[in-house]
Structure 1
Amino acid sequence: MALMRATAHAAHGPYTQDPAIFVITVEGEKIVDLLEMVDTVMIETQCFGKKLSAA
């Protein structure tokens, strides 16, 4: 498992993913599977301009 922090300038404001979590499966010397867990609400808001709202 790996923890990552990403910061960028997105179309609708600054974008920070802290933390993003990667679960990596390795066989021999090769990565055979990668599972990435991120804050999808942050991606929707900062990259695509969508707002989370209570319905």
Structure 2
Amino acid sequence: MAGASLLALLDDIATVLDDVAVMTKVAAKKTAGVLGDDLALNAEQVSGVRAERELP
């Protein structure tokens, strides 16, 4: 009996970790566009590149 409940607990933990991995992947995709846009706006301050040369 104890072995079955331990396996059930490990299965639940694996499910939670899988859900966290999926949510992290989705969040990374959503923030990539925001970070890219922010880098384009601040390019002149960061590296001395003129803002006119940045892609729209």
TM-score range, shorter chain: under 0.3
Q: What TM-score, normalized by structure 2, do the two folds share?
A: 0.26
Instruction: Please identify which structure carries the higher helix content.
Output: 2
**Which protein shows a greater Rg?**
2
User: Quick one: higher RCO (CA 8 Å, sep 6+), 1 or 2?
Assistant: 1
Q: What TM-score, normalized by structure 1, do the two folds share?
A: 0.26
Instruction: Please identify which structure carries the higher strand content.
Output: 1
